A = this chain, B = another copy of it.
Amino acid sequence: MKENNVTINSIAKSLGISVTTISRVLNGLGEQYRISKKTIELVKVTADNLNYSPNNIAKGLRLKKSSTIGLIVPDITNAWFAQLAFGIENEARKHHYNIFLCNSNDDIKVEKKTISLLQNWMVDGIIIAPIGLDCEHLVKASKSGTPLVLIDRFFEGVDLPYISSNDYEGSLDANQYLIDNGHKKIACFQGIVGTSPNKQRLEGYKQALKNNKIAFNPELVMGNDFGFNNGYTSAKKLIKNLAKTNITAIFSMGNQITLGLLKAFKEEGVQIPNDISIVSFDEQIYSDLLFTPMSTVSHMSENLGDMSLKMLFDQFDKNENTKPKNVVLKSKLIIRDSVKNLKLKN
């Protein structure tokens, strides 16, 4: 903690002027209160000389406003969330807001704790990519006066403003694309079971099968984590039984999963797309540069930061009749070389 004892109080004393005047001048309210130019100048100069800087904590206590926004993501290491955080932080700074960064680690307990921690910090609002297993604590937070914006995931039938990716559609498209290329036995490498994006993506997978009259086989759905290791171990298992199972394609629900999976395939000499086809969620800057250019579902938006922050600020005005409109990001299938067309003879 900085040990700068220069306060408006100390300035006031040393100048023989009241704190009010100091406060006013330093907040640019000198004109408004018709404080004499002499005084204004004097205050400004001495504040400068003494290297005064306001104590935001005291300000926050007084104003009941912290100029701080909480950002909760599952994992800042995930490029998608890093980009989100970057956008938000940059935009927030322009508005003189600070960002509390918190990782929930996709752990609902951590998420709940974090929410209340942030509330104790009197954050002016929270932007959160929720785990999605539960939303009671979110509703409670919102009701108790902490504006919320959900990002990436939302809750059906719950009145919390959100910016969501169209996970369902993205998944549907990806799997339809696989099916269009003649794939019928498609393994599904999933993330954390029960989380909202996982549910949506699984729904899309199932629906695509259904639309094409392919029976859903729960044994083809594997894994329970969005991380690299999950992809790696699942892939190793899959490779063992590849001949038996006749699986010809994989639908991967996350970029980290996909990397793990690629690593395993590389180690085992499995060729993509010759031996197995892949479509993966999450377009990345390197998707095109992998040893097999990856077909991906992209669901990023450049101005995600602006958008989410704006949705939050809109709530600050408390104008009940201007509820922020929810946003659904379009997802887009980017086709590259990781899927083999089984309908073509080769």
Question: Which residues of chain A have a CB within 8 Å of any CB of chain B?
Answer: 1-4, 53-58, 60-61, 64-66, 71, 75-77, 79, 82-83, 85-86, 89-90, 93, 98-103, 105, 110, 114, 116-117, 119-124, 141, 144-146, 228, 256, 259, 262-263, 266, 285-286, 288-291, 293
Assess the B53–A57 pair: CB atoms within 8 A.
no
Interface centre among A2, A117, A124, A293 (most CB of B within 10 A): A2
Nearest-neighbor residue (CB-CB) of A78 within chain B = B82
Assess the A54–B120 pair: CB atoms within 8 A.
yes
| A124 / chain B contacts, CB cutoff of 8 Å | 1
Assess the B288–A290 pair: CB atoms within 8 A.
no
Assess the A103–B122 pair: CB atoms within 8 A.
no
Q: Which of B103, B110, B228, B288 contacts A86 (CB 8 A)?
A: B103
What is the CB-to-nearest-CB distance from A333 to chain B, in angstroms, rounded to a whole number? Answer: 20
In the complex, what distance in Å separates the CA atom of A60 from the CA atom of B290? 49
Oligomer: number of copies: 2
Nearest-neighbor residue (CB-CB) of A284 within chain B = B286
Interface centre among A4, A98, A102, A266 (most CB of B within 10 A): A98
What is the CB-to-nearest-CB distance from A321 to chain B, in angstroms, rounded to a whole number? Answer: 20
Assess the B144–A2 pair: CB atoms within 8 A.
yes
Assess the A101–B116 pair: CB atoms within 8 A.
no
In the complex, what distance in Å separates the CA atom of A77 from the CA atom of B85? 8
Assess the B82–A98 pair: CB atoms within 8 A.
no
| A228 / chain B contacts, CB cutoff of 8 Å | 285
Assess the A66–B288 pair: CB atoms within 8 A.
no
In the complex, what distance in Å separates the CA atom of A293 from the CA atom of B266? 11
Assess the B99–A102 pair: CB atoms within 8 A.
yes
Q: Which of B77, B89, B93, B259 contacts A289 (CB 8 A)?
A: B259
